A and B are shown apart, each in its own frame.
Chain A
Amino acid sequence: MPRILVGSVQDITSEHPVFVRDGEIEIGVFRLGTEFRAYRNRCPHQQGPACHGVVTGTLVATARSNWRPEWVLDGQVLLCPWHSMEFDLTTGARIRGRGERLRAYPVHVIDDQVYVDIGVRGSIVERNAMKAKT
């Protein structure tokens, strides 16, 4: 399975993702505490460069908060720079969406080096998604 070296663990900070490329596919690698996530840099909304967006939080109001707005998920919400669509960086799923997701790639840390497995989403999951549409 194709595997791309992203860099050492220390190279990837929570402030800035690191980008790697597989042909025309750009992948953003994010640090979330001690974990890493890798997503294709393409928003499912209008194909904007989602991974270039700001990582922030969002506002929700629930029965648990007695319908008072609460700022939540700070440092976990990626905003696409084109239309501010919100994605949960832990899963790649659009927050409060219709099931849209950023394409995710498996990340491995081996001897303090971060790798992204490419081909998995492209060859298996993407095909499954296409099959699901038909």
Chain B
Amino acid sequence: MASTSTNLHDLMIVDCDVHVNDPPEELARFIDMPWRRSLEHLGGGNQRYLDIPGYAPSLSIDPPFPDRGLNNRSVSDPAQMRADLDGMSINIGVMFPDNLLLIATLPDVDYAAALGRAYNTWLAEKWVSAEQGLYGAVLAVPQDPEGSAAQIRKFGRDDGFVSVYLPVSGVRPLWGDRVYDPIYEAAAEIGLPVMLHSVGLIHPNFPFNLDHLTSRIARHPIQHEFALMANLFTMITSGVPVRFPELKIVFTEGGISWVPYVMWRLDKEFAETPTAAPLLERPPSTYIKEMYFCTQPVEEPERPQDLVTMIDLFDGRDHVIFASDWPHHDFDHPQKVLSTPFPTEVKRKIMGETALGLLNLTPVAATS
């Protein structure tokens, strides 16, 4: 079974973050009235990239430079997704939404909850297919923790759903708040990992209050890495990994280089003020080392060995997992991650083996 090959074609590649396009006209079939009529009305038009139907939470402040920002690729059906992933030698994809990446910003709880239910049903009916290697993440709407827990119990027992998606952008309170305990209880009960996933956003909720940062490249790392950090801080201090010791926690779309910083800073703070996190039974870093971190957008240091060093700083060889973010503008081709100068057995873990265990997956289909 053991192989020394690190050729893409010879590896089981599990992609922990791919995106399906979720236009309003498709969700309309699965949403309650009166929203069904609303989505039918809103569908088919020129929807802005990554925007919620009928709601515009994402302030767009970048000037329209010619020829930039035009590669807003989307994937509209499972056959296209399968073909795209085959083109990158990816065997398995875990699916996240496009537009509903921003669902946490919706002020109307009932509409948010209805959209979440519609998305999960639509995902199950249209997209999820173990035979095709396309697996779902149950969308947990933070505005409706009890309803989301019911959704996790409804869909999470299906073999085609392998995780719970926790939207990060604009979420308030942050994911460490105990109001979300029903979601964590349900995920732990079913045995699904929770996956925090952020996306670009300008919004009053911390840390997305970024309208004063006029350069996109200044905002983007805050919208992703800082947002993940802020949520991780609160999850640690409220003792999520202590209260739900079986729960596996995954961070998506922030790369990995922020992890050692968070680990060491929290350990330093905890040493001085353990009373500020009385639930913790041991230093914060020990919990963080038990979490999982997706590669994308993978760091590209001038010296590739530095990425090995960075992952080793948090003992991450068994806790870093590949994600492409296909088809979004900053996706990573698996070859990029595979070229990191790790030993072959570590590459196999990062590219797929660790995720198979994390997601409790038995691969039933390889790519063509």
Tell me, yes or no, whether A binds B: yes
Interface positions of B from 204 to 263, Cβ below 8 Å from A: none
A98 close to B302 (CB less than 8 A) = yes
CB distance from A15 to the nearest CB of B (A): 13
Task: Name A83's contact: one of B66, B67, B302, B330 (CB within 8 Å).
Answer: B330
Q: Is B332 in the interface zone, CB < 8 Å from A? A: yes
Question: When the two chains form their complex, are residues A84 and B332 in contact, meaning their CB atoms are under 8 A apart?
Answer: no
* B336 touches which of A46, A56, A57, A79 (Cβ 8 Å): A46
Q: Residue B305 at the A interface, CB < 8 A?
A: no
A84 pairs with B71, CB closer than 8 A:
yes
B333 — which chain A residues lie within 8 A by C-beta?
Answer: 46-48, 82
Contact string against A for B residues 67-108, beta-carbon threshold 8 Å, 1 for contact and 0 otherwise: 110110000000000000000000000000000000000000
Docked complex: A63-100 residues within 8 A CB-CB of B: 79, 81-84, 98
Any B CB within 8 A of the CB of A18: no
Residue from A47, A59, A98 within 8 A of B335 (CB atoms): A47
- Kindly list chain B residues whose C-beta atoms are within 8 Å of the C-beta of A54: 67, 70
Ordered by A's residue number, 25 sampled pairs between the chains whose C-beta atoms are within 8 Å are: A46-B332, A46-B333, A46-B335, A46-B336, A47-B333, A47-B335, A48-B333, A54-B67, A54-B70, A56-B66, A56-B67, A57-B66, A59-B65, A79-B67, A79-B68, A81-B71, A82-B71, A82-B331, A82-B333, A83-B329, A83-B330, A84-B68, A84-B71, A84-B329, A98-B302
Please give, as numbers and ranges, the residues of chain A lying within 8 Å of B332 by CB-CB distance: 46
For the complex, what is the distance from the CA of A81 to the CA of B68, rounded to whole Å?
10
Beyond known contacts A56-B66, A84-B71: 4 more, CB 8 A cutoff: A54-B67, A56-B67, A82-B331, A83-B329
Seen from chain B, the residues whose Cβ lies within 8 Å of a Cβ on chain A are 65-68, 70-71, 302, 329-333, 335-336
**A-B CB proximity, top 5 nearest:** A56-B67, A54-B67, A46-B333, A46-B336, A81-B71
Q: Which chain A residues border B335 with CB–CB below 8 Å?
A: 46-47
Question: Within 8 Å CB of A46, what residues of B?
Answer: 332-333, 335-336
Chain A 43-63, CB-CB to B under 8 Å as 1, else 0, gives 000111000001011010000
Measured in the bound complex, the distance between the Cα atoms of B84 and A82 in whole Å is 13
Cα-based distance from A47 to B332 in the complex (angstroms): 11
The chain A residue sitting closest to B334, CB to CB, is A46
Across-interface contacts of A81 in B (CB, < 8 A):
71
A residues less than 8 Å from B67 (CB atoms): 54, 56, 79
Task: Return chain A residues, CB-CB under 8 Å to B330.
Answer: 83
| Inter-chain contacts of B302 with A (CB < 8 A) | 98
A12 CA / B336 CA spacing, docked (Å): 33
A 17-56 binary contact with B (CB < 8 Å = 1; else 0):
0000000000000000000000000000011100000101
With both beta carbons as reference points, the residue of chain A lying nearest to B335 in the complex is identified as A47
Kindly list chain B residues whose C-beta atoms are within 8 Å of the C-beta of A48.
333
Best-buried of A46, A48, A54, A59 by chain B (most CB within 10 Å): A46
Contacts of A98 in B (CB 8 A): 302
CA distance A46 to B331 in the complex (A): 10
Q: Nearest residue in A to B330 (C-beta to C-beta)?
A: A83
Please measure, in the bound complex, the distance between the C-alpha atom of A47 and the C-alpha atom of B335, giving whole angstroms: 9
Q: Hey, which chain A residues are within 8 Å of B70, CB to CB? A: 54
Q: Which of B71, B330, B332, B335 has the most CB of A within 10 A?
A: B71
